[in-house]
Structure 1
Amino acid sequence: MDPNGSLEPITIFDPRDGTLVGRMEQDGRDGIRAAVAAARGALPGWAGTDPGERGRLLRAAAAALELRAAEMAAWNTRETGRPETEALAGVQAGVATLEQYAELGPVHRGHSLRGAALAADYTVTGPRGVAVVLTPWNDPVAVAAGLIGAALATGNTVIAKPSERSPHTGKLLGEILAPVFPAGVLTTLAGGADVGAQLSMEAGVDVLAHVGSSATGARIARAAALTGAHVILENGGNDPLLVDADVDPRWAAGQAAVGAFSNSGQICTSVERIYVHRNIADAFCAELIAEARRRNREGAVAPLVDARLRDTVHQQITQALVRGATIAEGGVLPEGPGAHYPATVLLNCSAGMEVFDAETFGPVAPIQVVDSFDHGLALAAAGPYGLAATVLTGSIAHVQQAVAALDVGTVNINAVFGGAPGGSAQPRRRSGRGFGYGPELLDEFSLVKVVHVGSPGTAAPGIPE
């Protein structure tokens, strides 16, 4: 921000062909402070609203979003390049998430406690206060709906700051949802890192919920250490895929392709590094290379969100080649407009290569061959991230080893994606902290109060411990 608190407009280009999508003014310091003040002013009334009424309004918000799902999806496609069917599925997931929290919010409750016979002991929950939610571009509607829905269901007021890479999508989401609620309950601000940083430092903010890069998450955590805000972070991952010797290599390669290439590798839980047992390595690699080649030939890989990210991905691949990796498919910057990048398979990868050690937010499948399951598991368990991991094996003993050894929020066995409805996970280390979704997210946005009710004249005198 300049001394007056103003910022340059955000300019967005369509990653499919490089054409201008639009420009959006960023909210300055005065707008940020006004949003926080409005959220604080609305907090007592919203916190005091009957949970059933909050649920009813969340259902109304879900219905409003569903009515404009096609419009939302179109903006997502224009800003991020995500295929229309996938963008629409993301909006529908957002609708379902709002409906989920509309149901879960009213039944979110405290606990009765065992105390004296003539006393009552129980807990009640209440909102933490003003919640700032900082949401990403790679699934902008579904992720935002989850954080907003859980925060509002528990009585918090919300200031949403969508990613500067999808500002029109985020603005439209706010325009659809905010009118359903009382004034000040939900506000959407536009801006990039400077706006996010200013929100993180505001003393009137009680919760900072962020889904995005680990570097940004670390900055938010440092700011919260000074303000006292509660922090919920789901950040980057370097998720391993471990392929055992006893699985079908063609099936395993299909799983690897889904994990590495879905949404062009732009998923927090994408497969980022692959360890395959030497006994099936040749067949596995041949199948994965063939699948990557097919996707590239058929134009099945959507563009990355912008040229800046594409350059980062390509630099990581270039560095890996210098350190001894080899390209089996892809790995070449395509000609023409947009931010396209091919599905890429790298062989002979190892620790020390950035493409193996850090998060590579692109359609890249880097592979290291290992001599045993134990060796691969040790490598998969190493590193500073702790988001998710996948193991493909037919051995129950190896499953048990993996679950014990992998210090991550989610361990997937024989499927890179999936899970039961209502699941939730806690990322570790650089990947974040707290429950970022599911019923437990309601707990993250709540404070618990313990109540003891004694009978008059029955309390024994004494000093509490």
Structure 2
Amino acid sequence: MTRELASAFATKNYFHLIGGCLEGSDAAFGVVNPATGEVFAQCPDASRAQFEQAVDAARHAYVNWSRMSFEERRRMLARLADAMEARLEEMATLLTLEQGKPIAAARAEIERGIGIIRHLITIVIEPEVLRNDSGGRVELRYKSLGVVGGIAPWNVPIVLAAPKLASALYTGNTMVLKPSPYTPLTTLLLGEIACDILPPGVLNILAGGNELGQWMTEHPGIDKITFTGSIATGKKVMASAAANMKRVTLELGGNDAAIVLGDVEPKEIARRIFQAAFANSGQVCQAIKRLYVHDDVYEALLTKLATIARQVKVGDGLDEGVDYGPIQNRTQYERVLEILDDTARQPGVRILAGGHVMDRPGYFIEPTIVAGIGEGTRLVDEEPFGPVLPVLRFSDIDDAVTRANDSRFGLGGSVWTKDLAMGADIAARLETGVAWVNHHLGVSAEYPFGGVKESGVGRANGVMGLKRNMEPQLIVLPAGS
């Protein structure tokens, strides 16, 4: 069934969603299946005129949408989640085709995106009474912003589009959403699903390249940008948004450190650490990217991790039983290879598993475990965003924390130990937006998520994330009101 769906998607026509209508474009670009390295479908490329139509439609729809009650908007978004669930297998198959992840992981991503929508629309946002006495009544209310521009990345396109969409729409905003040109098709399919459910103009989805993203960040008709991607692009988004004081929420990647203390049992934690480092073939912003291991368990944990790396199955995500897929695109594939080449030339480095491209079509790199490496190298200092894990040695916990924090990144981090109280104390010292103990990767939609330092601005999800899509307004009333 999965292969039959895949064949159908190669000949399918794809459309933008603009003002409640499904529209093609005069121009198109090819979408590559990273498991083969070949174009498998054509995607419409939005014109400037189509973008302007989408913004106009969103601004027009905002008038009525913002006046609806939370309950009315909740019902429509719940219908959207139900409709996505009914099309889950289609969405998952298309996601695997364009992103490369195993079909089981694609199904899980669609399910998680649905779950995020369903959770966020249960949150209640009420006015806050700051004062109510003989001196008067003061309330803090929250109002929608207007039109939100959402720019989603290629690594988990639906999971990262879902909270942008749900947060903006549920709080009374309308949206123009742009998926990555590497993975636009599943999001365009989402637009087809939404077309018959949401009022025209409430949600607009356009595919295109970097130029479309620039139009969004510069346009005076868009009131906020929510962006997930690289630090370099995030800085450009922030600078462009400053021209008309757009609000921004930026999640800009990470180089997460995990610290493993000497009291752990390597055999008990090795697989969990491996999964947290190599999820989506290492293409997760909050995956473990640097592993600091105490001298007492360093070699034992290395051996366990290398064994797992050699045992996992890497291949075409459409084949059942595959654990990990390819790097999503050629640009990223070549970047990871550059970092691997730099790593292999470092003195004292040991590559215990992997380190090579796979002898097959597509953008495949073996899961790689690297020992004997330190700071000052590309693999440790940069975010490789691929299936390569550096394992660094330490003997003093204060030294490990200092080294973990010596980074411009600050998305997530973790501590692994049998002493939970000590683990919590060490985790609190990490300069990150989230810190785990004996776990790494994944934050429920009920909690705010985001980074510090150059890993981002603001928070997504939870009450805090929803309020990032609203403007606080102080209402001051006389006594007796």
TM-score (norm 1): 0.92
Correspondence for 2:60:
41
Structure 1 residue 260, shift from structure 2 partner: 1.4
1:12 partnered with 2:36: no
Structure 1 residue 375, shift from structure 2 partner: 1.6
Correspondence for 1:449:
473
Paired residue for 1:110, among 108, 127, 132?
127
1:209–1:7: structure 2 CA closer, same or farther, 3 Å change rule? farther
The answer (yes or no) to whether the contact 2:333–2:363 under 8 Å persists in 1 is yes
Structure 1 residue 119, shift from structure 2 partner: 3.1
Task: Give the whole-Å Cα distance in 1 for the aligned partners of 2:392 and 2:173.
Answer: 47
1:112–1:268: structure 2 CA closer, same or farther, 3 Å change rule? same
Task: Give the whole-Å Cα distance in 1 for the aligned partners of 2:281 and 2:225.
Answer: 28
Please tell me the residue identity of whatever aligns with 1:442.
Answer: L
Name the Cα RMSD after superposition: 1.9
Correspondence for 2:458:
434
Task: Give the whole-Å Cα distance in 2 for the aligned partners of 1:259 and 1:328.
Answer: 19
Correspondence for 2:413:
389
Task: Give the whole-Å Cα distance in 1 for the aligned partners of 2:445 and 2:58.
Answer: 32
Please tell me the residue identity of whatever aligns with 2:65.
Answer: W
Structure 1 residue 333, shift from structure 2 partner: 1.5
Correspondence for 1:51:
70
Task: Give the whole-Å Cα distance in 2 for the aligned partners of 1:123 and 1:301.
Answer: 48
Correspondence for 2:20:
none
1:78 partnered with 2:97: yes
Structure 1 residue 21, shift from structure 2 partner: 1.6
Task: Give the whole-Å Cα distance in 2 for the aligned partners of 1:30 and 1:328.
Answer: 54
Task: Give the whole-Å Cα distance in 1 for the aligned partners of 2:420 and 2:130.
Answer: 40
SS in 2 for 1:114: strand
Gaps of 5+ in 2: 1-24, 315-320
Task: Give the whole-Å Cα distance in 2 for the aligned partners of 1:355 and 1:275.
Answer: 14
Counterpart mapping for 1:285-324 below 5 A:
285-295=302-312, 300-324=323-347
Task: Give the whole-Å Cα distance in 2 for the aligned partners of 1:8 and 1:272.
Answer: 39
Paired residue for 1:121, among 138, 163, 170?
138
Structure 1 residue 430, shift from structure 2 partner: 1.5
Paired residue for 2:381, among 332, 357, 375?
357
Task: Give the whole-Å Cα distance in 1 for the aligned partners of 2:430 and 2:65.
Answer: 41
Task: Give the whole-Å Cα distance in 2 for the aligned partners of 1:18 and 1:419.
Answer: 32
The answer (yes or no) to whether the contact 1:14–1:80 under 8 Å persists in 2 is yes
Paired residue for 1:172, among 183, 189, 194?
189
The answer (yes or no) to whether the contact 1:239–1:388 under 8 Å persists in 2 is yes
1:118–1:404: structure 2 CA closer, same or farther, 3 Å change rule? closer
Task: Give the whole-Å Cα distance in 2 for the aligned partners of 1:90 and 1:183.
Answer: 27
Task: Give the whole-Å Cα distance in 2 for the aligned partners of 1:409 and 1:389.
Answer: 8
TM-score (norm 2): 0.89
The answer (yes or no) to whether the contact 2:445–2:461 under 8 Å persists in 1 is no
Structure 1 residue 24, shift from structure 2 partner: 1.5
The answer (yes or no) to whether the contact 1:94–1:146 under 8 Å persists in 2 is yes
The answer (yes or no) to whether the contact 2:343–2:379 under 8 Å persists in 1 is yes
Paired residue for 1:161, among 154, 178, 189?
178
Correspondence for 1:239:
256
Please tell me the residue identity of whatever aligns with 1:454.
Answer: P
Please tell me the residue identity of whatever aligns with 1:348.
Answer: G
The answer (yes or no) to whether the contact 1:58–1:101 under 8 Å persists in 2 is no
Counterpart mapping for 1:61-460 below 5 A:
61-104=80-123, 107-117=124-134, 119-295=136-312, 300-324=323-347, 325-396=349-420, 398-419=422-443, 422-454=446-478
The answer (yes or no) to whether the contact 1:278–1:372 under 8 Å persists in 2 is no
Q: Cα deviations across residues 379-429 of structure 1 (Å, max 9, x unaligned)?
A: 111100010001101235642442332110110101123556612233112
Please tell me the residue identity of whatever aligns with 1:301.
Answer: Y
Please tell me the residue identity of whatever aligns with 1:227.
Answer: N
Task: Give the whole-Å Cα distance in 2 for the aligned partners of 1:167 and 1:112.
Answer: 44
The answer (yes or no) to whether the contact 1:296–1:343 under 8 Å persists in 2 is no
Q: Cα deviations across residues 168-194 of structure 1 (Å, max 9, x unaligned)?
A: 111111121243111111100111211
1:67–1:433: structure 2 CA closer, same or farther, 3 Å change rule? same
Structure 1 residue 102, shift from structure 2 partner: 2.5
SS in 2 for 1:386: coil
Structure 1 residue 200, shift from structure 2 partner: 0.6
The answer (yes or no) to whether the contact 1:121–1:451 under 8 Å persists in 2 is yes
- Percent identity (aligned): 30
1:421–1:232: structure 2 CA closer, same or farther, 3 Å change rule? closer
Please tell me the residue identity of whatever aligns with 2:311.
Answer: R
Across the two proteins, how many residue pairs are aligned to each other?
A: 450
SS in 2 for 1:408: coil
SS in 2 for 1:274: strand
Structure 1 residue 7, shift from structure 2 partner: 9.8
Task: Give the whole-Å Cα distance in 1 for the aligned partners of 2:449 and 2:463.
Answer: 10
Structure 1 residue 16, shift from structure 2 partner: 1.4
The answer (yes or no) to whether the contact 1:61–1:177 under 8 Å persists in 2 is yes
The answer (yes or no) to whether the contact 1:303–1:339 under 8 Å persists in 2 is yes
Structure 1 residue 442, shift from structure 2 partner: 0.8
1:378–1:397: structure 2 CA closer, same or farther, 3 Å change rule? farther
Task: Give the whole-Å Cα distance in 1 for the aligned partners of 2:84 and 2:74.
Answer: 15
Please tell me the residue identity of whatever aligns with 1:29.
Answer: R
Please tell me the residue identity of whatever aligns with 1:322.
Answer: R
Task: Give the whole-Å Cα distance in 2 for the aligned partners of 1:418 and 1:271.
Answer: 11
